[in-house]
Amino acid sequence: MSQPVLKIRDLSVSYQTEAGPLQALRDVTFAVPAGKIIGIVGESGCGKSTLISTIIRLIAPNARIGKGSILFKGDDLLRMTSAEMRALRGDEISMVFQDPMTSLNPVRPIGRQMADVQHRDALSRREKNARSESMLGRVGIPDPAAQLTRYPHQLSGGMRQRVAIAMALMAEPSLLIADEPTTALDATLEVQIIHRLQELQRDFGCSILFISHHLGVIAELCDEVVVMYAGEVVESGPMRDVFLEPRHPYTRKLLECDPARIAEPTRDLPVIEGSLPNLVQLPDGCIFRERCPKTIERCGLQRPRLAGDGHQASCHLLDTAE
Amino acid sequence: MSATAGTVYRIFAGLKKDPLGMAGFVLVSLIVFLAVFAAWLAPYDPLEVDVYNRLASPSFAHWLGTDQLGRDILSRVLYGGQVALRVSLLAISISMAVGLVLGMLAGFGPRWLDRVLVVAFDTVRSFPTIMFALAVVALTGPSLNTVIGVIIVTSIPVYARVVRTQTLALRERDFILAERAMGASTFRILRHHVLPNIIAPLFILASMDVPAVVGMEAGLSFLGLGVSPPTPSWGSILNDGYSYLRNSPWPIIAGGLPLIAVTLGFTFFGESLRDIFDPRLRRKDQ
């Protein structure tokens, strides 16, 4: 297999708060292989957003990158100057945002915004428009030429998200980061966008880092999945393995909570008891211990490490089981 | 260009539905026309003295009568319009341009720069304008350029503060973040994304600011701080008329009416523009 497009190793990021440093990411390690779709799943506050904003270095001013490396095609993004990062963004690394209602400039026509994304290319306005048009066609927008003169508010949410995807793919990036791109859309559109993303991924051969808290979407779309909890990777591996044989108790719980898996109608949807630990004062031992259904003595003493090859999980129970 | 043609079309389509705005537009056009072509339209030389015909009431020879030196008031009002429009055009365009740049710097730049600029804006605004003008005139002597300068300095913070607030609101918006994620530089974001979002409200503000500036020029000229005596200005016409109010009301009426017309015209037109360009209202008619 070829070299991964993105390789994150032991990445730690904290936010400076009045109470002390909030450790948003701790020792995050995973890789995005070339031409694959990787899903990152986890509940709100698990560090998904911090992770992507660290990758494209658009982090909040109070964020501190502690240690680790983010290798993009072999170069460490954390060592790059802000000018080098800016050259990468929108060219080699692109991004699609969560809410298409707010991620397009409301006062400029679609065509102007799409031409604007091509600011690095020395093309005439006509050539840029032609490229925008063909790109809109590829993401499945009917009558693309007519859309170029329309404003975002004249398009539906699904159309806008397609426009955003077209803009992100304009420079044919090696890595597309999609931050919950279907969360703001309804279910039928979600499926359409997912299938379109799969097609586009095949056409362009790019890798996609897909962030979601929707397990069904991840299962449908991704080749591999990374499960995050409270700023740590608790399990990662090929989608099939993780979904069929989850090793970490959190992943198991998460799967149990997926409404799509519940056969009988019920008012009491399953939940994971408890809430996220305080990330300013981290508990000793395993981060999931307080919500875990089967803790052993070792869980309170020692922090588990990711173990296994291919399909990895960080849980002490795995050692004792074998 | 088609975009400007579209904008012009939209303005007229909007004005058609808004009779008050249309009235404002007609009034504004009329004032601009009269002032620009004053040299051709004025029946007399505004400086020509006719001592046998002092303080005459309106007649066919002098439509608005004559002042205390027998000068034709209609001609003076027309030429006074030139002064008023020149001052407002120059002062507003310069203060708007400077305010735009400073406001975007304050709104988008580092926090210390924002603090420094806001303190500077507040300092300038804390002087009462007339007091400030008096102080400057005392130092430099009365002239039209002083009036323009004073108006520019006192108006910059008004524009800059509006631009700053708008920029601050925009910088947190998702599409600005999206642009950054697509590799746009700060300058590019300001030029292509912040500017188009704030320029329309700014022009509307400017259009509503015209009466204030014209009033300011008239006021300073009335106090003798603006144009030097023989030059006609609405303010100096009022001042001349004020001293002879017992003899003839016409100079005061003639000097005051254009001020009222400018205020009404630009305010109605500006409000109509605001309605036309407000994107929340725009959506309804499409």
Listed by number, the residues of chain A in 267-296 with a beta carbon closer than 8 Å to a beta carbon of chain B are none
Q: What are the sequence ranges of the domains in chain A?
A: 6-92+173-269, 105-170
Interchain contact B169–A (C-beta under 8 A): no
Evaluate if residue B102 carries a pLDDT over 90.
Answer: yes
B181 vs A89, A104, A154: nearest CB: A89
Q: What are the sequence ranges of the domains in chain B?
A: 2-285
Min mean pLDDT across A234-238, A295-299, B259-263 is at A295-299
Helix (H) or strand (E) run with residue B217 in it = helix B195-222
* A154/B175 Cβ within 8 A: no
CB A184 within 8 A of CB A99: yes
Evaluate if residue A1 carries a pLDDT over 60.
Answer: no
CB A5 within 8 A of CB A207: yes
Evaluate if residue B285 carries a pLDDT over 70.
Answer: no
- AA identity, residue B168: L
Q: What is the DSSP letter of A287?
A: T
Across the range B60-81, mean pLDDT stands at 77
The pLDDT score that the predictor gives to residue B1 is 41
Q: Which site among B4, B175, B182 would you substitute to test the A interface, given the most A Cβ atoms closer than 10 Å to its Cβ?
A: B182
The pLDDT score that the predictor gives to residue A303 is 84
CA distance A81 to A79: 7
Helix (H) or strand (E) run with residue A39 in it = strand A37-41
pTM to 2 decimals?
0.76
Across the range A182-188, mean pLDDT stands at 80
The pLDDT score that the predictor gives to residue B3 is 56
Of B231 and A239, the structure prediction assigns the larger pLDDT to A239
What does B189-200 look like in DSSP terms, one character per residue? HIIIIIHHHHHH
Q: Which fold has domain B2-285?
A: MetI-like fold (1.10.3720)
* A154/B180 Cβ within 8 A: no
Evaluate if residue B280 carries a pLDDT over 70.
Answer: no
* B173/A164 Cβ within 8 A: no
Percent of chain B with pLDDT over 70: 94
CA distance B194 to B171: 8
Question: Bridge partners of A307?
Answer: A313
B177 vs A58, A107, A164: nearest CB: A58
Helices assigned H by DSSP within chain A: 48-55, 82-88, 110-117, 125-138, 144-147, 157-169, 187-204, 215-221, 239-244, 249-257, 316-321
Tokens of B106: 């304050």
* B192/A117 Cβ within 8 A: no
Evaluate if residue A279 carries a pLDDT over 60.
Answer: yes
A191 pLDDT band (50/70/90 cuts)?
confident
Percent of chain A with pLDDT over 90: 9
Min mean pLDDT across A13-22, B62-71, B228-237, B274-283 is at B274-283
CA distance B82 to B175: 44
Alpha-carbon distances of B47 from B44, B73, B135, B151, B227, rounded to whole Å: 8, 10, 30, 27, 14
Min mean pLDDT across A138-152, A233-247, B5-19, B255-269 is at B5-19
Evaluate if residue A183 carries a pLDDT over 50.
Answer: yes
* A88/B181 Cβ within 8 A: no
Across the range A268-274, mean pLDDT stands at 79
Min mean pLDDT across A251-255, B11-15, B20-24 is at B11-15
Across the range A275-281, mean pLDDT stands at 82
Across the range B105-114, mean pLDDT stands at 89
pLDDT in tens, A203-215: 888 999 999 888 8
Evaluate if residue B281 carries a pLDDT over 70.
Answer: no
pLDDT in tens, B148-174: 888 899 889 999 999 999 898 888 888
CA distance B115 to B180: 24
Average pLDDT score over chain B: 82
A6-92+173-269 architecture in CATH?
Answer: 3-Layer(aba) Sandwich (3.40)
Interchain contact A97–B (C-beta under 8 A): yes
Work out the minimum CA distance from A134 to partner chain B, whole angstroms. Answer: 19
Tokens of A85: 């990062």
Listed by number, the residues of chain A in 167-186 with a beta carbon closer than 8 Å to a beta carbon of chain B are 167-168
